Every structure is written in structure tokens, then in C-alpha cells.
């Protein structure tokens, strides 16, 4: 055996209330905790960072966090601990958001989709070829900011105090789809429940990645649905299995004809997902072109991936148009 999890404690609360309590206890005891959803991102991290000991708080027994339902306001409510495979296989999703099911089918592998959850995917850690490394590799290059060190190997003159310190890239495949569909999140902590649009959730830094507070948990995702709302996703990756997105492009529309609204969202090319929508209506392709231009302008692919930054930028419009073609089918 070579890799062991460094964590010292493992708890499996049965209810959301208990989860909140455990988090509060850890806080009081000044003990680090990790909310354990599917573990497919967390476990490799813990194996690479054996010094990160703490309490693993498993969410697998919290039934209220699982499942998909249709609430009265024409909105799908997805429990954050719904496994990706369950979500893609859900009748409600297949009926109302088939594009989302197709996008999920492009994530990692069948095994991982049976383990990973939708909440975990939205919160998946940003990746960088200097951060996702063993202790030995990090000792060669020196620990980067995200790993707890004092250097960035991607932006060499980055320094503490910069508005964006870490350029590790955002890689969730689910996020761009849910962004394009206008999803909202419900977050629970001891202070109570709050709702946040997914668009406002992510932060521009690769370390402080989102608005989830200490002691807070992502409970559910609400996605508005209507027969006129559709999404399609194109993923750029070397292999058609296993790999993270070098770039992911989701294109969605809502409404029809002159009133059609467009939404474009990207993953893999920035520290956070990029989301652009347009309420103007000057004809489909023209509008999308404009969105693509905006997204290309915002995107900041860097040298954190096998495929070069300029190539990934170039592929934004190619993939967006392919997604559009799929939408129109």
C-alpha cells in the first residue's frame, strides 16, 4: 500500500441538521473538516496532500440531499448529493433537460459518475499542473500559493495582495450547463438557508473559489424549465473518456423566434466559469457570434493544460457553433 488518506476521523451524519452540527463542532474544536460527497476529487487530493488531516464528513447517508423533483413553479430541484449517474438517468432530467443528461455523460468515467455527485461537481477543486501533484513534485518546483506556498508557477510575478492570486483553472462540466440554464443554489448553515444565483456563486481566484462559507453546505440546485429552454454542451478533451475538460462550452436558449434569449457558458479556460447572456434579439447566429466574442475576450486559458492556451481559445467558437448545431437539431 502506498497511498493512505491522512484524515483521522470519519463521520456519517444521517440528517442535514447533524451535518450542520458536526461542522459547528469542528469549528469550535478548530479542526479541519472535509464534506465528503462522492470523494472522486477529494480522495486524490488527500492522497497527494497527506499532511491535510481532518474530519471526513460523509454526506452519503443524508437522504434529504438526494434526488430530483419538480416543484410547482416550473423549476427542477436537484439535491446536491444526487450522484451524476442518477441525475443523468433521472426521468425528470431526461424529459426536461436532455441536454444536461448528455453533458453529464461526458464526465470522467462510468465508475466515477456512479460515485461523484452533482454538488461535488459544482464545487470541484480548480486544477493546475503545479497543484495536482505529489509532495515530491511540489518539492521540486516549490509549493505554489494554492498548495500553501509562496509562489505561482503560472504567473511568475503573482504576489499576495493581488486581486487574483491563483490561476488554477475551473473544470466542472456541470457548472456551465447549469449557468446557461440560469440555475440557483440553496446553501444552508447554522445561520439559516440562503439562495444564490449560480452566476454569482463563483469567485475569480483559484484558491477562494466560491461563496460557500465555513460551516455552510450546498443543499440543492434549482433549475428553471420550460419546453422552450434547451442546452447543449461540447467538451474538448484528448480522450473521449476519463479526461477533464480542456474547454467546455454550453449553449442554451430560452424562448422562440424574436424573443429567443441566448446564454453561453464556458469551463476550463479561466479560474471560474465564464457566463455570457444576451437579451437582445437580432437573430440567432448574430447574437451567438457576439456572445462568443465576449466569452473569448474574457477567457484566460493559461499553461495549466496539455493543450495550448491559444488552441483552447480558438476552440471556443468552434465548440460553441457545434453546440448550437446540436441545439437546433
Partner 1 sequence: MGHKQKISFSINGNFWDGYVETSWTLLDVLREQLDLTGTKRGCDMGDCGCCTVLLDNKPVLSCLLPALEVQGRAVKTIEGVASGASLHPVQEAMVEAGAIQCGFCTPAMVLQGVHLLECNSSPSALEIKEAISGTICRCTGYNKIEKAFCLAAQKIAEPK
Partner 2 sequence: MKNNYAVVGKPTPALSARDKVTGRAQYTDDLRLKNPLYVRILRSRLASAKILSVDASQARAIEGVKAVLVGADFTRTFGVLPISKDEPALARERVRYFGEPVAAVAAETAEIAALALSQIAVTYQETPECLSMSDGLRKTDQPIHPELKRENNLHKMVKQEFGDVEGAFKGAPIVVEGEFAFAPITHGFTEPHAVQVEIDAEQNLTVYSATQVPHYVHLAMAEVLEHPQEKIRVIKPHIGGGFGGKSDPFPHEMIAAKIALLTGRNTRLLLSREEVFFSNHGRHPTTMNMRLAFHPEEGLKGLDTKVKIDGGAYASFGVVTTYYNGVLLQGPYHLPTSSFQCERIYTNKPMSGAMRGHGGVNPRFASEVLLDMACLEAGLDPCETRIKHLLKENRLTANQFRITSNNLSEGLRLAKERSGWRDKFGKLPLGKGIGVACGFFISGSGLPIHWNNLPQSTVRLTLDFDGLVTVFSGASDLGQGSDTILAQVVGEVLGLPLTMIRVISADTRLCPVDLGSYSSRVTFMAGNAARNAAIRMRRLMVEAAASLLEILPPEKVEPGECEDYFRQGERAPNFASGFLGANPTYADGFNFVGKEVIAPDGRKLKFMDVLARALMGVGILQTAGSYVAPKMGGDFKGAGAGLSPAYSFTGFISEVTVDIESGFIKVDKVTAAHDCGFQLNPLAVEGQIEGSIHMGLGQALMEGVVYEGGAVQNASFLEYKIPSPFEQPEIDIVPMNRPDSEGPFGAKEVGEGALAPILPSVANAVYDAVGIRLKSLPMTPVKVLAELDKLKGAKK
Residue 255 has a CB neighbour count (10 Å cut-off) of 13
Piece of the chain touching partner 2 by CB under 8 A; list 10-18, 110-118, 134-142, 214-222: 134-142
Among partner 1, partner 2, none, residue 313 binds (CB under 5-8 Å by kind): none
Give, in order, the Cα–Cα distances in Å from 193 to each of 185, 196, 213.
Answer: 10, 10, 12
Q: Is the dihedral of CA 81, 3, 170, 305 positive or negative?
A: negative
Q: How many residues lie near partner 2 (CB under 8 A)? A: 28
Rounded distance, CA 329 to CA 317, Å?
18
Rounded distance, CA 199 to CA 184, Å?
8
Closest alpha carbon to 224 in 257, 265, 204, 252 = 252
- Smallest gap from Cβ 243 to partner 2, in A, equals 7
CA angle 46, 113, 233 (to 5 degrees): 110
Query: Does 242 participate in binding partner 2 (rule CB under 8 A)?
Result: yes
- When the beta carbons of 9 and 280 are compared against partner 1, the nearer one is 9
Query: Does 109 participate in binding partner 1 (rule CB under 8 A)?
Result: yes
C-alpha cell at 75: 423549476
Query: Does 105 participate in binding partner 2 (rule CB under 8 A)?
Result: no
Interface with partner 1 in residues 22-81 (CB under 8 A): 36, 39-40, 43-44, 47, 56, 58, 60
Burial class (CB in 10 A: 0-12, 13-18, 19+), 141: middle
Piece of the chain touching partner 1 by CB under 8 A; list 5-13, 21-29, 143-151, 212-220: 5-13
Interface residues with partner 2 (CB under 8 A) are 1-4, 50, 129, 133-134, 136-137, 139-141, 236, 238-244, 306-308, 311, 314-315, 318
Q: Which residues are at the interface with partner 1 (CB under 8 A)?
A: 1-10, 12, 36, 39-40, 43-44, 47, 56, 58, 60, 85, 105, 108-112, 114-115, 240-242
Amino acid at each position: 500500500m502506498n497511498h493512505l488518506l491522512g484524515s483521522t476521523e470519519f463521520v456519517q451524519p444521517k440528517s442535514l441538521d447533524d451535518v450542520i452540527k458536526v461542522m459547528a463542532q469542528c469549528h469550535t474544536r478548530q479542526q479541519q473538516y472535509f464534506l465528503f460527497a462522492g470523494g472522486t476529487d477529494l480522495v486524490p487530493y488527500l492522497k497527494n496532500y497527506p499532511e491535510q488531516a481532518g474530519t471526513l464528513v460523509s454526506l452519503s447517508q443524508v437522504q434529504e440531499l438526494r434526488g430530483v423533483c419538480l416543484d410547482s413553479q416550473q423549476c427542477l430541484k436537484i439535491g446536491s448529493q444526487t450522484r451524476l449517474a442518477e441525475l443523468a438517468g433521472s426521468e425528470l432530467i431526461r424529459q426536461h433537460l436532455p441536454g444536461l443528461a448528455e453533458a453529464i455523460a461526458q464526465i470522467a468515467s462510468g465508475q466515477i459518475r456512479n460515485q461523484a455527485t452533482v454538488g461535488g461537481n459544482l464545487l470541484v477543486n480548480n486544477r493546475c499542473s503545479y497543484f495536482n501533484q505529489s509532495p515530491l513534485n511540489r518539492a521540486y518546483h516549490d509549493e505554489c500559493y494554492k498548495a500553501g506556498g509562496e509562489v505561482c508557477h503560472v504567473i511568475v510575478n503573482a504576489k499576495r495582495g493581488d486581486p487574483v492570486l491563483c490561476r488554477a483553472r475551473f473544470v466542472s462540466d456541470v457548472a456551465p450547463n447549469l449557468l446557461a440554464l440560469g440555475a440557483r443554489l440553496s446553501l444552508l448553515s447554522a445561520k439559516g438557508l440562503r439562495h444564490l444565483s449560480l452566476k454569482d456563486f463563483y469567485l475569480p481566484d483559484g484558491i477562494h473559489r466560491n461563496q460557500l462559507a465555513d460551516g455552510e453546505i450546498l443543499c440543492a440546485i434549482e433549475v428553471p424549465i420550460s419546453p422552450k429552454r434547451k442546452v447543449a454542451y461540447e467538451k474538448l478533451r484528448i480522450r473521449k473518456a476519463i479526461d477533464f475538460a480542456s474547454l467546455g462550452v454550453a449553449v442554451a436558449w430560452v424562448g422562440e423566434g424574436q424573443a429567443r434569449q441566448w446564454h453561453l457558458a464556458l469551463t476550463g479556460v479561466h479560474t471560474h466559469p465564464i457566463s455570457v447572456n444576451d437579451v437582445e434579439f437580432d437573430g440567432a447566429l448574430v447574437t451567438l457570434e457576439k456572445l462568443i466574442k465576449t466569452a473569448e475576450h474574457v477567457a484566460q486559458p493559461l499553461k495549466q493544460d496539455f493543450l495550448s492556451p491559444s488552441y483552447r481559445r480558438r476552440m471556443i467558437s468552434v465548440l460553441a457553433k457545434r453546440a448550437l448545431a446540436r441545439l437546433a437539431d
